[in-house]
Amino acid sequence: MPEIDAAFTNLPLRRLADAALSRAKTLGADHADIRVERIKDSRLSLHDARLDGTSDGEDVGFAVRVLLDGSWGFASHVDLTPESAERVAEQAIEVAKVSRPLSTQRIELADEPAYGDVTWVSPYEVDPFSVPDSDKISLLADWSSGLLAHDIVAHADASVHSVVENKFYSDLAGTTTTQQRVRIQCALEALGIDKESGRFDTMRTLAAPAGRGWEYLTGSGHDWAAELDELPEHLTEKLRAPSVEGGVYDLVIDPTNLFLTIHESIGHATELDRALGYEANYAGTSFATFDQLGTLKYGSPVMNVTGDRVAEHGLASIGWDDEGVAGQQWDIIKDGLLVGYQLDRPMARLKDLGRSNGCAFADSPGHVPMQRMANVSLQPATDGPSTEELISRVDRGIYVVGDKSWSIDMQRYNFQFTGQRFFKIENGRLAGQLRDVAYQATTTDFWGSLEAVGGPQTYYLGGAFNCGKGQPGQVAAVSHGCPATLFRDVRILNTQAEAGR
């Protein structure tokens, strides 16, 4: 396992913490914490095997947060000196004093043990920032050229996005954490044109972003060569496929598609701040209100969903969150019933739910931590069926692969989703691709129609780099695992007909 980058640990982390926390304590803070962060971000893109753009960035700074007489105070700076840390602590105290008369509710924190001085590094092999840009460009160009060699492919786009996130946290309670997270996202998309019909469409690789290093692109965790070999054939078939007839179908949904439905209809809906109406930006509030905890029938009895901050290679996995809470796993939906939410320390105490489950996160040193999504995942059945076995149970249906566009209302309840590929199922067998497919439902009807989940051999960890929340807006990366699944009697729309074409 790599060690934490010395360029970060050589910063005056503990001197900043001593200065800020001592000053906050002297000024009467009931709680105080400091975060020192360095976030390295690299993006590189190619169009038709030629470099289209590249950028590298680094964000370094620190933030102090205090709790004084039941009100938050927050301030941040980029000057990494003890003198600056003291001033920022004083500013945070002043913000708390100003906020107190405006606050309608006293803030308290759920209890959490002190962990001493601890470290955590996400599991990866090769730091993507150690790989020369020339090597990255060469690899993506080779892959793009392979796609362009097929007659059906008119254009090919390729991109890779890498992040190394270092975070130091210390608080008055006695927890000091130093962490390093690495994540990477790569995608290739081919634009195909059928010369006979003039029809055109795109198809993208299915590989999910992951909490891995550069080794992800060289054979560890995904077979890129195999997927890229198959993509032009799938695209050719899609361009020549018949348009779907709208109606009611059984669906077998691949985890490369279902992860996004989980994100939108479960992940956002079970953030407690949304369920309580404290948060509505980007994704609205939630139909899964707190009064329904323990009683809401979210889905069928085979539906078991967990939240976690510890999944291996998960994008939202950490050792400790931005409130010093250790990573953990917990139940959100058990046997189809809503049994838990995603929590930070204030939300856990507000509703007497015991300990926080570690969902506080800030995406930069200049932003205040807020309750963010964990890795929210649908669990497989221990001895569950294969994808092929699920397909064999369907007489008339569609097999859905890969994510594409989505739409969901501001209560996380009414939605429709499309995908990369749709295969017709007839009498338990795949019978070619379909076009113009979207599935539509309400959240509880959809998950209530879940008849079977696949076994562990069908489980895949999907995810996204770009989950937005808050105002000012913050972005977080999050993973969602799930097996292949069988849903009965789901409404299918023809997207061309719905668009009036």
| Model confidence pLDDT, tens digit, residues 187-197 | 999 999 999 89
Distance CA 265, CA 363 (A): 23
The pLDDT-based confidence of 81 (bands split at 50, 70, 90) is very high
Instruction: Tokens 């796609």: give the residue.
Output: 147
Q: Are residues 288 and 436 part of one domain?
A: yes
Assigned domain for 81 exists: yes
**Arithmetic mean of pLDDT, 234-260:** 98
**Arithmetic mean of pLDDT, 235-241:** 97
Boundary of a domain, candidates 180, 206, 239: 239
- Residue 203 neighbours by CB under 8 Å, 6+ apart: 189, 190, 192, 231, 234, 235, 238, 420, 421
pLDDT at 99 (0 to 100) = 95
Q: Are residues 165 and 270 part of one domain?
A: no
The pLDDT-based confidence of 326 (bands split at 50, 70, 90) is very high
pLDDT at 498 (0 to 100) = 87
Q: Are residues 271 and 407 part of one domain?
A: yes
Assigned domain for 263 exists: yes
Assigned domain for 379 exists: yes
**Arithmetic mean of pLDDT, 55-78:** 98
E-only strand ranges, 78-115: none
Assigned domain for 397 exists: yes
The pLDDT-based confidence of 281 (bands split at 50, 70, 90) is confident
Q: Are residues 358 and 427 part of one domain?
A: yes
Distance CA 477, CA 468 (A): 9
Boundary of a domain, candidates 211, 239, 267: 239
Assigned domain for 371 exists: yes
Boundary of a domain, candidates 222, 239, 256: 239
Q: Are residues 265 and 220 part of one domain?
A: no
HSE-CB of 159 using CA atoms within 13 angstroms: 16
pLDDT at 50 (0 to 100) = 98
pLDDT at 451 (0 to 100) = 98
Q: Are residues 272 and 131 part of one domain?
A: no
pLDDT in tens, 21-66: 999 999 999 999 999 999 999 999 999 999 999 999 999 999 999 9
Q: Are residues 360 and 226 part of one domain?
A: no
Q: Are residues 492 and 436 part of one domain?
A: yes
pLDDT at 348 (0 to 100) = 98
- Residue 161 neighbours by CB under 8 Å, 6+ apart: 41, 42, 43, 44, 184, 185, 186, 209, 465
**Arithmetic mean of pLDDT, 332-338:** 98
Whether the predicted model's global pTM rises above the 0.75 cut: yes
Assigned domain for 296 exists: yes
Q: Are residues 142 and 74 part of one domain?
A: yes
Distance CA 313, CA 482 (A): 14
CATH no. for residue 128?
Answer: 3.30.2290.10
**Arithmetic mean of pLDDT, 170-193:** 98
pLDDT at 208 (0 to 100) = 97
Assigned domain for 1 exists: no
Q: Are residues 311 and 185 part of one domain?
A: no
pLDDT at 188 (0 to 100) = 98
Q: What is the mean pLDDT of the chain?
A: 97
Pairing type for strands 305-308 and 329-334 reads: antiparallel
Q: Environment class of residue 367 by beta-carbon count within 10 Å: exposed (0-12), middle (13-18) or buried (19+)?
A: buried
Residue 73 CA to its chain's centroid (Å): 28
DSSP state of 127: -
pLDDT at 283 (0 to 100) = 79
Assigned domain for 360 exists: yes
Q: How many residues does the chain have?
A: 501
Domain of residue 157 covers 6-239
b/e string for 450-483 if b means 16 or more Cβ within 10 A? bebbbbeebbbbbbbbebebbeeebbbbbbbbbb
pLDDT at 282 (0 to 100) = 79
Q: Are residues 27 and 70 part of one domain?
A: yes
pLDDT in tens, 449-465: 999 999 999 999 999 99
- What is the count of structural domains for the chain? 2
> pLDDT > 70: what percent of the chain?
100
The pLDDT-based confidence of 490 (bands split at 50, 70, 90) is very high
Distance CA 455, CA 244 (A): 29
**Arithmetic mean of pLDDT, 429-455:** 98
pLDDT > 90? residue 501: no
pLDDT at 500 (0 to 100) = 80
Q: Are residues 162 and 127 part of one domain?
A: yes
